[in-house]
């Protein structure tokens, strides 16, 4: 049976031609498994859907920043959206061309700005007047002119989780339109910057085209206004936010977004930038974890696995839904036979917090200790948000290509946990 892009067959789960049980045996668990084919397929779908307008796809490095993933996307022609000096470093290490890199974020430090200027990136997405002043100053000192986009706050409700809503008036992101207009009018007084774009990113995991369309309207109106004020605006940057399947049905195809957005852009003369992260990698990754113990407590069934909230924090932090399934179950996911034997269970981790869970009251078939459980749709904002909480080494990452796999990040060791720490010199 197929679930998302994976094949559940012979009591195993196939990523490409590789049974994930083999990866678990060789690399251990917990482990993140990514499919190169699926990553490529999603980028290709976006490229095809947006091909009628000149579009630069800047992959949002924050969603999954592993070098190998960035490398695969760069080889296909993607640029990068980075939000820190560290992400810029990664993008460059992956072979990213500076002229395909945009730098966003509300709190860029002077050092990060300098690093990006020295590398001659495509542009900075500027989030405040104060930041604009610093970029202007640093660039002028270097006798450079920094290309920038103003990130406006279009005050559009993306109707997603409030923690990942960014385009509403009360969020910390972007510049309100009144201030942005004044900044655009005064741009000529600044020797170190040139306004070449308008940017907006209204939120993440948006499963409706309408908020994007509403934001585009506001961005384009503002871009016109900037041009009238004498600024050479040539880029419209709509950010990311395209939603994916977590329950198996909510994501929209890339073509829906393109159909909603491209008519307004066609013939406008603007180049489009988009910054998708989750859309490309979200459904291309899963977290594989092994059952340590099964505990029956009253009428509750707890399946205790070897991955915890430190490995994948989305359920704990956002009450996010991830499908979970024991891959060596004899029952096919979604089948009437599976339903007949399923009972509610909490799939929980070993961390000392009640909030450490992957699924609560989920209908699951009988599961034995030692079984492998797959947490689906974990490619985006999984490994990148992993921590060492409870002094747990972070998991390994594996990329499957066809019938082979590469370990693209080794599992951390206990030595890694204390690297850089020092015992105090004097003990009394
Ligand atoms: N551009 C900007 C300016 C962003 O802030 C983001 C995400 C993106 C692009 C990429 O958005 P995407 O296409 O991946 O939706 N940790 C949260 C998501 C945080 C998103 C932050 N910004 C989660 O696990 O759902």
3-state SS track over 369-426: CCCEEEECCCCCCCHHHCCCHHHCCCCEEEEEECCEEEEEECCCCHHHHHCCCCCCCC
Contact 51, 258 (CB under 8 A): no
pLDDT digits (tens, 9 = 90+) for 137-163: 999 999 999 999 999 999 898 777 777
pLDDT value at residue 295: 96
Mean per-residue pLDDT for 382-401? 98
pLDDT band at 306 (very low <50, low <70, confident <90, very high): very high
Q: How confident is the model at residue 309 (pLDDT cuts 50, 70, 90)?
A: very high
Question: What's the average model confidence in pLDDT over 322-340?
Answer: 90
What average pLDDT is seen over the chain?
95
- And the tokens for 266? 């066609």
| Res. 251: pLDDT tops 70 | yes
Distances (CA, A) of 421 to 385, 415, 416: 21, 10, 10
In this structure, how many other beta carbons lie within 10 angstroms of the beta carbon of residue 115? 17
Neighbouring residues of 320: CB distance < 8 A, sequence distance ≥ 6:
161, 246, 314
- pLDDT band, very low/low/confident/very high, at 334 (cuts 50, 70, 90): confident
With helix as H, strand as E and coil as C, how does 121-165 read? CCEEEECCHHHHHHHHHHHHHCCCCEEEEEEECCCCCCCCCHHHE
Residue 301 has pLDDT above 90, yes or no: yes
396 near 410, Cβ under 8 Å?
yes
Q: How many angstroms is it from 203 CA to the middle of ligand 1?
A: 7
User: What is the reported pLDDT for 85?
Assistant: 98
DSSP 358: E
Mean pLDDT of 234-249: 96
- Torsion of Cα atoms, 3 then 5 then 11 then 17, to 10°: 170
How confident is the model at residue 428, as a pLDDT?
Answer: 63
Read off the pLDDT of each residue in 124-132 and give the average, rounded to a whole number. 97
pLDDT tens track for 199-217 = 999 999 999 999 999 999 9
**β-strands 18-19, 12-15: how paired?**
antiparallel
Contact indicator for 184, 229 with CB cutoff of 8 Å: yes
Q: Which residues contact 247 (CB under 8 A, 6 or more apart)?
A: 321, 323
Nearest to 149 by CA among 76, 235, 36, 79: 235
Confidence of residue 256 (pLDDT cuts 50, 70, 90): very high
Distance 301 CA to ligand 1 centre (A): 34
**pLDDT level of residue 427 (50, 70, 90 thresholds):** low
Q: Which residue's alpha carbon is nearest to atom 7 within ligand 1? A: 204
Choice from 63, 106, 198, 312 to test ligand 1 binding pocket (greatest atom count within 8 A of CB): 63
Averaged pLDDT for residues 95-105: 97
Q: Would you call 59 helix, strand, or coil by DSSP?
A: strand
Q: Is the pLDDT of residue 296 over 90?
A: yes
Active site residue 70: no
Residue 377 banded pLDDT, cuts 50, 70, 90: very high
Q: Residue 41 above 90 pLDDT?
A: yes
- Residue from 173, 207, 241 to probe ligand 1 pocket by mutation (most atoms less than 8 Å from CB): 241
Strands 235-237 and 6-9: unpaired
Q: How far apart are CA 342 and CA 163, in angstroms?
A: 33
- The structural domains of the chain, ordered by start, are 2-34+282-417 (2.40.37.10), 36-279 (3.20.20.10)
**pLDDT tens digits, one per residue of 158-194:** 777 777 667 667 777 899 999 999 999 999 999 999 9
pLDDT band at 426 (very low <50, low <70, confident <90, very high): confident
Q: Which of 83, 275, 322 to mutate to test the pocket of ligand 1 (most atoms within 8 A of CB)?
A: 275
Q: Could you give the CA distance from residue 375 to residue 325 in angstroms, rounded to a whole number?
A: 7
Confidence check: pLDDT of 104 > 90: yes
- Of 170, 167, 164, the C-alpha closest to 153 is 167
Our CA angle for 186, 188, 194, nearest 5°, is: 105
Q: At what angle do helices 129-141 and 177-186 cross, to 10 degrees?
A: 20
Which residues have CB under 8 Å from 25's CB, separation 6+? none
**Rounded mean pLDDT of 367-385?**
97
- In this structure, the residues whose C-beta lies within 6 A of any atom of ligand 1 are 60, 63, 81, 104, 164, 201, 204-205, 239-242, 275-279, 314, 318, 380-381
Write out pLDDT tens, residues 338-350.
999 999 999 999 9
For residue 108, report the distance from its CA to the centre of ligand 1, in Å: 17
- The ligand 1 atom at the shortest distance from the C-alpha of residue 277 is 14
Catalytic residue among 70, 226, 352, 374: 352
DSSP string, 205-237: SB--SHHHHHHHHHHHHHHHHHHHTT----EEE
277 Cα to the center of ligand 1, angstroms: 7
- Say if residue 79's pLDDT is above 90: yes
Query: Which residue's entry shows tokens 């009428």?
Result: 299
Residues 6+ apart with CB under 8 A from 40: 72, 76
**CB contact burial 378-415 (16+ within 10 A = b; e otherwise):** bbbbbbebbeeeeebbbbbbbbbbeeebeebbebbeee
Least confident of 39-43, 121-125, 326-330, 407-411: 326-330
pLDDT at 285 over 80: yes
284, pLDDT greater than 80: yes
Whole-angstrom Cα distance, residue 175 to residue 199? 10
Residue 417, pLDDT > 70, answer yes
For residue 43, the CA-to-ligand 1 centroid distance in Å is: 16
- Residues 275-283 have a mean pLDDT of 98
pLDDT at 64: 98
């Amino acid at each position: 049976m197929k679930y998302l892009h994976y094949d559940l067959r012979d009591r195993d789960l196939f990523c490409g031609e590789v049974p994930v049980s083999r990866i678990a045996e060789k690399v251990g668990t917990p482990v993140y498994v990514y499919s190169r084919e699926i990553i490529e397929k999603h980028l290709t779908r976006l490229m095809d859907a947006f091909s009628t307008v000149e579009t630069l796809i800047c992959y949002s490095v924050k969603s999954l920043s592993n070098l190998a993933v960035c490398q695969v996307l760069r080889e296909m022609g993607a640029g990068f959206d980075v939000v820190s000096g560290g992400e810029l470093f990664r993008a460059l290490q992956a072979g990213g061309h500076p002229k395909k890199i945009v730098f966003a974020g509300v709190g860029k430090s002077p050092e990060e700005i300098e690093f990006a200027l020295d590398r001659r990136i495509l542009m900075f997405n500027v989030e405040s007047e104060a930041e604009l002043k610093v970029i202007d100053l640093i660039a002028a000192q270097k006798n450079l002119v920094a290309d920038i986009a103003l990130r406006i706050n279009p005050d559009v409700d993306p109707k997603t989780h409030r923690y990942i809503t960014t385009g509403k008036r009360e969020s910390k992101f972007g510049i309100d339109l009144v201030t942005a207009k004044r900044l655009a009018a005064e741009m000529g007084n600044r020797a170190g910057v040139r306004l070449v774009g308008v940017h907006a990113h209204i939120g993440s995991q948006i499963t409706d085209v309408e908020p994007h369309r509403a934001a585009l309207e506001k961005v384009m109106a503002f871009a016109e206004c900037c041009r009238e004020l004498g600024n050479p605006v040539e880029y419209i940057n709509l950010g990311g936010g395209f939603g994916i399947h977590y329950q198996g049905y909510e994501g929209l195809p890339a073509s829906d977004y393109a159909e909603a957005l491209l008519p307004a852009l066609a013939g406008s003369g603007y180049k489009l930038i988009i910054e998708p992260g989750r859309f490309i990698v979200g459904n291309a990754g899963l977290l594989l974890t092994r059952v340590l113990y099964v505990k029956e407590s009253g009428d509750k069934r707890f399946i205790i696995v070897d991955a915890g909230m430190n490995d994948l924090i989305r359920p704990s932090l956002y009450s996010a839904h991830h499908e979970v399934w024991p891959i060596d179950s004899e029952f096919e996911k979604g089948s009437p036979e599976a339903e007949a034997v399923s009972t509610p269970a909490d799939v929980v981790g070993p961390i000392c917090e009640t909030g450490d869970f992957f699924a609560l009251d989920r209908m699951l078939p009988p599961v034995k200790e030692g079984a492998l459980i797959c947490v689906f749709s974990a490619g985006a904002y999984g490994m990148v948000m992993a921590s060492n909480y409870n002094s747990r080494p972070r998991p390994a990452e594996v990329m499957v290509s066809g019938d082979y796999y590469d370990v693209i990040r080794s599992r951390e060791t206990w030595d890694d946990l204390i690297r850089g720490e020092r015992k105090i010199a004097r003990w009394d």
